Amino acid sequence: MDTVAVLGTGLIGTSFALALKSAGFRGRIIGVSSPASVRAAVERGAVDEPAELAVAVRQADLVYLAQPIQKILDLIPEVARHARPDALVTDAGSTKRRIVECAGRRLGESQFLGGHPMAGKESRGAAAADADLFRDRPYFLTPARPEMIDEPRIAGFMDWLVRTGAKPAVLSAGEHDRLVAATSHLPQMISTALASLLARQPDAAILAESGGPGLADMTRLALSSHDIWADILATNGDEISRLLEMAEIRLREIRTSLDDAKPAFDEAYSFAERVPRRTV
């Protein structure tokens, strides 16, 4: 792997480039993004040179798509036109079925590997990028067929991921989308629902301002912008709907047995105690 093209030099793309270099990658990293974004990635030392998409993709052994989901879907046809037959194209989009399906129609099967690093930050952009962003975090990979992960270019890419400190985990695109619906999308929508419900109370300002750490925790995700979520809701709506409906049922069950809530608290504890927490 001599040349890597990073498409989208925001937080994830720039962090991937920094992580590769920090893991010992000595080849060239070409950045494709808006002028301001790619300039920031060059200034961070993550990207060696900016280029147009076609120019960058034609030279690349690895094409890393690090834009929002819809942008990835929009670019796949153009990437497919220019990608070398022996190149690997991978992405970091946060839902996988739609992207894997779209790439499967345009790229050769062993040319594409869906990916999703479970890493992020509240700050965005190249300025917030971090060579250690992926360290000790799961990095989901969703090959069209499980056997594909033994193919040399995919195995080689996974080796680089391991060297960045990421923990690659292979699953199908469907399994991935079901998993993140539960661990990420459902919590987001519940936080949004809670905060929007409280926003409608007549004394909303007083409620917000008298909230303690519990309310702060439960409404932090509600600070997320819809910009980021629109693509996720559009491409994983079926799984999210299924879980939201289960949540409605679970709330009703709990509401109608408030005087016997110990089993719910115990069950909830058994889950919550396994969730990794930063010690404060």
Query: Among residues 204, 231, 235, 279, which is the contact residue for its own copies, using CB under 8 A?
Result: 204
CB of 236 to its own copies, least distance (A): 9
Rounded Cα gap, residues 97 and 235, in angstroms: 8
Among 26, 105, 213, 279, binds its own copies (CB under 8 A): 213
> How many chain residues interact with its own copies (CB under 8 A)?
87
Under the criterion CB under 8 A, does residue 190 sit at the interface with its own copies?
yes
Q: How far apart are CA 112 and CA 261, in angstroms?
A: 48
Separation of first and last alpha carbons in the chain:
40
Q: Does 279 bind its own copies (CB under 8 A)?
A: no
The one segment of 4-12, 20-28, 65-73, 185-193 that binds its own copies by CB under 8 A: 185-193
Binding residues among 80-119 for its own copies as defined by CB under 8 A: 118-119
Q: How many CA atoms lie within 13 A of 134 on its CB side?
A: 31
Q: Please list every residue from 229 through 248 that binds its own copies, using CB under 8 A.
A: 229-230, 233-234, 237, 240-241, 243-248
CA distance 8 to 14: 8
To its own copies, the closest distance from the beta carbon of 191 in angstroms equals 6
Using CB under 8 A, pick the residue from 85, 105, 274, 279 that binds its own copies: 274
From the CB of 226, what's the least distance to its own copies, in Å?
A: 4
Stretch that binds its own copies, among 3-11, 100-108, 126-134, 196-204 (CB under 8 A): 196-204
* Least distance between its own copies and beta carbon 19 (Å): 18
- The reply on whether position 266 binds its own copies by CB under 8 A is yes
Stretch that binds its own copies, among 19-27, 47-55, 72-80, 221-229 (CB under 8 A): 221-229
Residue 34 or 257 having the CB closest to its own copies? 257
Whether the Cβ atoms of residue 92 and residue 116 lie closer than 8 Å to each other: yes
Is 120 in contact with 221 (CB distance < 8 Å)? no
Residue 26 vs 255, nearer CB to its own copies: 255
C-beta of 176: minimal distance to its own copies in Å?
A: 10
Q: Does 195 bind its own copies (CB under 8 A)?
A: yes
By CB under 8 A, residue 278 contacts its own copies: yes
Cβ proximity to its own copies: between 54 and 230 the closer is: 230
Residue 236 amino acid letter: N
166 binds its own copies (CB under 8 A): no
Residue 128 is a binding residue for its own copies (CB under 8 A): no
